[in-house]
Amino acid sequence: MLRASVLRALGRPAAARVPLLGGPGARRYGSGAPTVGEDAAHARAYFTTPVFYVNAAPHIGHLYSALLADALCRLRGLRAPGAAAPRLSTGTDEHGLKIQQAAAAAGLAPRALCDRVSAQFRRLFRDAGVAATDFIRTTEARHRAAVQHFWGVLAARGLLYKGLYEGWYCASDECFLPDAKVTRQPGPAGESCPVSLESGHPVSWTKEENYIFRLSQFREPLRRWLRSNPRAIVPEPFHHAVLQWLEEELPDLSVSRRSSHLPWGIPVPGDDSQTVYVWVDALVNYLTVIGYPNAEFRSWWPAASHIIGKDILKFHAIYWPALLLGAGLSPPHRIYVHSHWTVCGQKMSKSLGNVVDPMACLDRYTVDGFRYFLLRQGVPSWDCDYYDEKVVKLLDSELADALGGLLSRCTARRINPAGTYPAFCPSCFPREPGAQGPAVRAQAEDYALVSAVAALPKQVADCYENFQIYKALEAVSSCVRQTNGFVQRHAPWKLSWESPADAPWLGTVLHVALECLRVCGTLLQPVTPNLADKLLSRLGVSAAERGLEELSFLPRFYGHQCPFEGRRLGPETGLLFPRLDQSRARMVKAQGT
Binding site for ligand MSP (CB under 6 A): 50-53, 61-62, 64-65, 93, 282-283, 285, 308-309, 311-312, 340-341, 348
State which residue, 77 or 358, has the beta carbon closest to ligand MSP: 358
**Which residues, in sequence order, are CB contacts of 256 under 8 Å at separation 6+?**
210, 211, 268, 274, 275, 276, 277
Shortest distance, CB of residue 65 to ligand MSP, whole angstroms?
4
Distance of closest approach, residue 213 Cβ to ligand MSP, in angstroms: 16
Of the candidates 545, 519, 522, the one whose C-alpha atom is nearest the C-alpha of residue 532 is: 522
C-alpha triplet 79, 66, 14: angle, nearest 5°: 120
206 forms beta bridges with: 167
The minimum distance between CB 284 and ligand MSP, in angstroms, equals 8
Compute the C-alpha angle 97/171/179, nearest 5°. 140
Min dist CB 393 to ligand MSP, Å, is 21
The nearer residue to ligand MSP, 285 or 366, going by C-beta atoms, is: 285
Nearer to ligand MSP, 53 or 553 (CB): 53
- Indicate the SS3 state at residue 207: strand
Q: How far apart are CA 390 and CA 341, in angstroms?
A: 13
The least CB distance from residue 53 to ligand MSP, in Å, is: 4
- The residue among 176 and 421 lying less far from ligand MSP, judged by its C-beta, is 176
> Minimum distance from CB of 349 to ligand MSP (Å)?
9
Quick count: other Cβ atoms within 10 Å of Cβ 494?
8
Smaller CB distance to ligand MSP: residue 181 or 338?
Answer: 338
Distance CA 158, CA 495 (A): 80
Nearer to ligand MSP, 84 or 352 (CB): 352
Least spacing, CB of residue 383 vs ligand MSP, in Å: 8
The amino acid sitting at 316 is H
Name which of 70 and 311 has its Cβ closer to ligand MSP: 311
Min. distance of Cβ 174 from ligand MSP in angstroms? Answer: 7
96 versus 422: smaller Cβ distance to ligand MSP = 96
The string over 176-201, giving b where at least 16 C-beta atoms fall within 10 Å of a residue's C-beta and e elsewhere, is bbeeebbeeeeeeeeeeebbbebbee
Q: Which residue is nearest to ligand MSP (CB)?
A: 309
Closest listed residue to residue 137, CA positions, set 107, 113, 154, 153: 113
Residue among 318, 13, 11, 18 at smallest CA distance from 167: 18
CA distance 245 to 7: 10
